[in-house]
Amino acid sequence: MAKRIFNFNAGPAALPLSVLEEIQAEFLDYKGCGMSITEVSHRSSWFDEVINDAVLRVKRLLNLGENYKVLFLHGGASLQFTMVPLNLIADDQVADYVNTGSWSVKAIKEAEIIGKKVRVVASSEDRDFNYIPKDIAFDADAAYVHITSNNTIRGTQWRSFPDTGGVPLVSDMSSDIMGRTFDVAPFGLIYAGAQKNLGPSGVTVAIIRQDMLERVPDNLPTMLKYTTYAAKNSMFNTPPCFAIYVLQLVMKWLEETIGGIANMEEINRKKAELLYNYLDESDFYRGTAEKEDRSIMNITFRLADESLEETFIAEALANGLGGLKGHRSVGGCRASIYNASSLEAVQALVSFMAEFERKHG
């Protein structure tokens, strides 16, 4: 077997090894059907079983009631920046957005492009998005409140979700869904690109409440309406079958191997605590996010001597630690420690960081 590295990429990101091995074992002959899962019809009983099981597992893991639909969409979270306002803001309505970084900025921009009215009610841009705004005044008449639950680029995360006074919450949870427990009841819509915590790139999950589905106008293009997907179990047209299949296996791993999201959260917090404790005790490295708002998924840091960062990233890769380069828009370093990234991986990273500090400090 080829040597595998510890993968800290921000997305597409690490997948559980046992899931990859299961895919490998049945790739040429799925469940004895004589075909790969990439070849079977999406109208077949084989794929029906895959997509229905994926939906059920997402519902169980997030404790979703019957008033929520789980949809599998194309276009990534980026298409959701358009679909959300297109479907959920009526002509006489305004939606509240909280700006916590690049993905929030893009969501706001896309809503404005299609002529929807949005109001930025809070922003952390004044300090380079290194914190989450507090004590926000929301409009009781807003169509919804949009937040990005976790900022992959700046390494911040909503520790607790805002009280909107009953206005539906809409959240881009691409980078921390299934990573911690939370109460889904305030959320009218959650969307997430799969390629960080759910599976491979190519499928986006949308979890939408029935009352939000009832808002969808009839006169939208067919493939841009949530109701199209809800009515046809996400199979109005050919869905991203392979990506849904892998997502189903990841959900099975999370349920049956990890034991659910509460157990996963405990592991994730241990991983984050280990790395943050090392950063806090070192003068050689420094974290970039405010401590009270630090993400447990994306840990961003700089070296005190920033000229050493390229060397650090190159030497880390040579030592089997990949994906540590920060986002191109901000530079620096970033360790993305999503669900499939093991405690062993973080321990190896901390050991390398200590040795690099000893050599170059």
The active-site residue, picked from 96, 116, 172, 225, is: 172
Provide the 10 A C-beta neighbour count for residue 186: 17
31 labelled catalytic: no
Lookup: tokens for 32:
């004895």
Print burial letters for 205-217: b (CB count within 10 Å at least 16), e (below 16): bbbbbeebbebbe
Of 69, 96, 103, 271, which one is the catalytic site residue?
Answer: 103
Report the candidate in 117, 311, 268 with the shortest Cα–Cα distance to residue 180.
268
Q: Locate 265 and state its tokens.
A: 């959260």
Q: What are phi and psi of 100, to 5 degrees?
A: -120, 20
Cα 8-156-123 angle, rounded to 5 deg: 145
Question: Burial, 75: exposed, middle or buried (Cβ in 10 Å; 0-12, 13-18, 19+)?
Answer: middle
Give catalytic status of residue 3 as yes or no.
no
Q: For residue 273, give both structure tokens.
A: 């605590």
Neighbour tally for 181: CB within 10 Å: 16
What DSSP line would sit under 233-269, residue for residue? TT-SS---HHHHHHHHHHHHIIIIII-SHHHHHHHHH
User: In which element (H, E) is residue 117 found?
Assistant: strand 117-123
| 8 A C-beta contact, residue 184 and residue 190 | yes
Q: Which is catalytic among the residues 196, 225, 271, 325?
A: 196
Burial class (CB in 10 A: 0-12, 13-18, 19+), 256: exposed
- Alpha-carbon distance 97 to 107, whole Å? 9
Alpha-carbon distance of 37 to 39, in angstroms, equals: 5
Both tokens of 80, joined, read 């959701």
Is 103 catalytic? The answer is yes
Distance CA 147, CA 169 (A): 8
Q: How far apart are CA 206 and CA 308, in angstroms?
A: 41
Q: Which residues are catalytic?
A: 103, 172, 196
